[in-house]
Amino acid sequence: MIEIGAHVDLSHPPDRVWLALTDRELLGRWFAEADMVEGVPDRLVLHTAGLPGFDADVEVEVTERWVPELLVLRCDEAGRLTELTCAVTATKQGSRLTVREVPTHGSWSEEQHDPREQQLRQALTVRLPAILDWLAFQQVDLRRGEVGMTTELPVLGAAGPARARRRRRAAVAGLAGVVLAAGLVAWLTLPGEQGPSAAAPSGSPTPTTPSPSMAAAAPTAQPKATPSARPTRSPTPTTSVRPSRTPSAKPSRTSTAAPPPPPPLVARYDTDSSRLFGYTGEVVVDNPGPAPAEQWVVVVTLAEGSSVDDVEGADWRQDGQSITFSGLAVPAGGTRTIRFDVRDSRPKAREPEGCTVGGNPCAGL
């Protein structure tokens, strides 16, 4: 018997999780839209046709209900019958939701089983937590002193301050650039201590006219001061030009012996699927060179307020908005595919702000 199962730990109480399981509007936001069957209580039709691993819509009938701990459903998908069990257990951090589906008449093919289980796991670990967070926002009394609760999503009001902060940062950066440029101009225009000494050897009348100053300096330097000014002019061009010719001959030997560098890795970003409060991103790394690329790094910069929940095909770490991916060598002429689920703080998900492989930008953004 082939069954499908998944569980997720949630930072929400069991009552809120139960509401997300049984409310038709909420269920449609994180799993599939549902309609009541006319004249039949406790029976729904889930519009799952077209979802990965589903052949048709599923007719669901509630056979057991223990609020807010257990929900058992009998499912009929075009003649294939299954039993779906949803168990909610309270934990110290919130609750754990366990979902298990077992066929009772007919079974899934191997091509259906894995996509169906992946669809369920993605819904439980990505979309359901986002809906629960959104529901928690609605249940917070933001007016404090007034009666009742607001149902406005507070995230929508955060765009103004964020833009204002970006404008302030841009203004400070521009002002810093102006101050730096003004300081540089002032430094270049101010006379230095060696200005007179540099002007003296440049013109011939200069050494003859200031004879009193030279006479005053004579007791310390004696007449050897005049030859010391002339050698400073002659060695500087000879020493600065000739050494530059000798090293230029050496690179010609190394360039003939060194092999040409391999072509750099290229990558392309694509948003595989978008949804409420998130999306699934994909980066394909291509190695056009003749040798395997042992070390490679892909850096994806997410929009502000986004985070990665699940990654396939690479090791990863998140530092602020930057996600760094690395993994096994990319074979010569081959590719590596990275898929990652992104959770966004806004209902309408925003694509990454940037993507690079080895410091070079990815295509697709």
Task: For the domain covering 4-138, report its CATH number.
Answer: 3.30.530.20
Q: What is the pLDDT of residue 102?
A: 92
Percent of the chain with pLDDT over 70: 67
Q: What is the pLDDT of residue 242?
A: 54
10 Å CB burial of residue 298 (0-12, 13-18, 19+) is buried
Q: What is the pLDDT of residue 228?
A: 45
273 closest CA partner among 9, 50, 4, 108: 50
Q: What is the pLDDT of residue 156?
A: 34
CATH class label, 266-361: mainly beta
pTM: 0.42
| Rounded mean pLDDT for each run of 10 residues along the chain, 365 residues in total | 85 94 91 85 86 91 93 92 94 93 86 86 92 84 46 39 48 47 46 43 44 42 45 47 52 62 90 80 93 92 88 91 92 92 80 92 92
10 Å CB burial of residue 12 (0-12, 13-18, 19+) is buried
Q: What is the pLDDT of residue 298?
A: 96
Domain segments of the chain as ranges: 4-138, 266-361
CA 36 to each of CA 85, 138, 221, 305: distance values in angstroms, whole numbers, following the listed order: 20, 25, 107, 36
Q: What is the pLDDT of residue 346?
A: 78
Residue appearing with tokens 């970006």 = 166
3 state DSSP class of 130: helix
Q: What is the pLDDT of residue 70?
A: 95
Joined tokens for residue 247: 């090293």
233 closest CA partner among 209, 202, 204, 208: 202
Backbone dihedral angles phi then psi of residue 162, each to the nearest 5 degrees: -65, -45
